[in-house]
Amino acid sequence: MWAAIVTFLRTWGLIVLLVAGGLGIAYRFVAPPPPQMLRIATGPGADSAYARATRRYAEALRAEDFTVELVESQGSVENLAMLRQRRVDFALVQGGVAGTMPVAAQGRVASARQEVALVSLGSVFFEPAWVFVRRDAGRQRLQQLNGARIAMGPPGSGTRALALALLEVNAVEPDSFIASPFSGTDAADALLAGEVDAAIFVAAEPGPAISRLMAAGEQVELVDFETRAAAYARLLPYVTPVHLPRSGFSLALDLPAEDVVLLAPAASLIAPADVHPQLVSLFIRILQEEHRGRQSFAPEGRFPSALNQDLPLHRDAARWYESGPTFLQSWMPFWVAVTVERMWVLLIPLLTLALPLIRFAPPLYTWQMESRIWRYYDDMRGIEAELPAARDDAARDALLARINGLEGKIAKLSVPSAYGRQFYALRRDLDWLRDQVTQRPG
């Protein structure tokens, strides 16, 4: 019984060993797991839309056991530069900065353009441009800003990049105005104090600076792009006209007093082109949870979106937007789905090796069990071959002793009942050989 068990284990152990070896070789070609450490660029200040969004991304990632580092930056242009230099793994970038902004607006990013290819994971919210001008300056249109002092944020910010693009399409030359690095409340203070003639803000949600300027209607005016919105959208394809209705800012204060059309690029989440595919799916799921609701300038379900892209959309992101999440990631925790999807490639070598080996195992087991019986026939043939030369009693007694020795070994032989026919056939053949030996010559 134990011999049969040992033979069984030896047979299937060999099969398992061969299959495990094949899987080990195939595992070398399996994609590595996603990195545990992720760096995300934020934006200027703790209250910017980028900073708030990336903090929520970080919380969702940490809930999935990732380690997340938030890297503060001056805004979209610097975010883009850090992505290209692999100083961060993900960043929100304002529409237009990555692909279609003039070189002058891209600053140091232009010199790093060839460093790392980038892809988009989708746009997440609109960022309208809020352009305020002083009423006493007589500059109610952007074409009239030649010679003006304009607060447009620091170099490296998306606000400055968009401001330069808006001025360029209005034929306002870079050397014909003074660019001030003021932003936020500093820009609002400077505009109200007359230190600048115009101030440009790019903000998904109005902050304290915009609120203060909206309430100062006697001194400053919010530029309305309604009559030229189609022209701006044609010249700057990454901007979308968005509508701010009368009293849409403040119903109590009736602000604004008339409907206003603003120009809004869409912020997108950008990553290097070699980003891990599982991270793409995870991030899009996070974007869905964070941005699919109703926004100030977008209806529910408008974001995240594959539209308004400056950079190529990652192929897995495009597939997700078209077909939704994979079955595994819909019904399994992230890391479980990742492990199963990574191991899926092992199914091919598993089937290629295991199925033939499984079919080979029963014949191998049968051969091993029958060989325990057949090996005694070699000794019996040897005795039979020596029989004609054994003519005296001593020689035949020696052959008979060898037969008795074989009989003792066979009596100790243990085989399963399924091989009983071969076992008893061996004993009958041994008895026949004994009869041949005990018969005297002649």
Both structure tokens of 126: 């609109």
Neighbours of 76 (CB within 10 A): 34
Measure the CA dihedral 60/65/69/70, to 10°.
0
Residue 239: which of 247, 248, 228 has the closest Cα?
228
Q: How many residues does the chain have?
A: 442
Q: What is the pLDDT of residue 102?
A: 42
Q: Where are the domains of the chain?
A: 2-18+348-438
Least confident of 71-80, 97-106, 230-239, 396-405: 97-106
* Contact in structure between 321 and 108 (CB atoms under 8 Å): no
CA distance linking residue 76 with residue 112, whole number of Å: 15
Q: Which residue has the higher pLDDT, 388 or 50?
A: 50
CB neighbour burial string for 255-288, b if at least 16 within 10 angstroms, e if fewer = bbeeebbbbbbbbbbbbbeebbbbbbbbbbbbbb
Least confident of 78-82, 192-196, 297-301, 379-383: 379-383
Taking 90 as the threshold, does the pLDDT of residue 182 lie above it? yes
Mean pLDDT of the chain: 83
Taking 60 as the threshold, does the pLDDT of residue 149 lie above it? yes
Q: What is the pLDDT of residue 147?
A: 87
For residue 193, give Cα distances in angstroms to 133, 147, 151, 182: 12, 18, 13, 13
The identity of residue 203, as a single letter, is A
Q: What is the pLDDT of residue 243?
A: 95
Taking 70 as the threshold, does the pLDDT of residue 22 lie above it? no
* Greatest Cα pair distance in the chain: 144
Least confident of 113-122, 265-274, 403-412: 113-122
